Copies of this chain bind each other. A is one copy, B any other.
């Protein structure tokens, strides 16, 4: 094991590395993340009335989010590639006011692996939100994506995490 010994300290001196999960057991993992998109009321109206020229915003964005979950380890340098068992992305109206409106993206990912799928859920939510921006940006460059955050996770050594204020009013 001499060669390996040489490498034993490989990652301990501050170099970036993909953490060794060899010794971790395979367990069922779920992660749910959310993101909010703030926009002008008129933009929301155009989305809801299918009046955005590029197409059905929510459909395209939901699919973009699902596909992005599968690209997570290509994007996030130290993320492990994981064979995903389930991905779903949902975009819904969250708040509609006179001048402004907010959509909420939720992304759920599941696997059975040595690592969790928090990054997959967060990436899916982010890319779905970016896709909403892309489809509406001609009309509303001021749209803002906020509260990209983990809502729930389960499985693995760190166990369950549940965000207390998730799904509440987005006040960004």
Contacts and interface: CB of A to CB of B under 8 A. Distances in A.
Interface of A: 2-4, 6-7, 10-11, 14-22, 28, 30, 32, 50, 53-56, 59-60, 62-64, 66-71, 73-90, 106, 108, 110-114, 118-119, 122-123, 126-127, 129-131, 133-135, 137-138, 141-154, 158, 161-163, 166-167, 171-172
A147 B142 CA distance: 11
Contacts of A113: 83
A4 B119 CA distance: 18
Grouping DSSP codes into helix (H, G, I), strand (E, B) and loop, the A interface class, with mixed when no group exceeds half, is: mixed
A70 to B, nearest CB: 6
A80 B85 contact: yes
Given A22-B110, A145-B149, 5 more contacts: A4-B154, A63-B64, A70-B81, A118-B141, A119-B134
Number of copies: 6
A66 B147 contact: no
Nearest to A24: B85
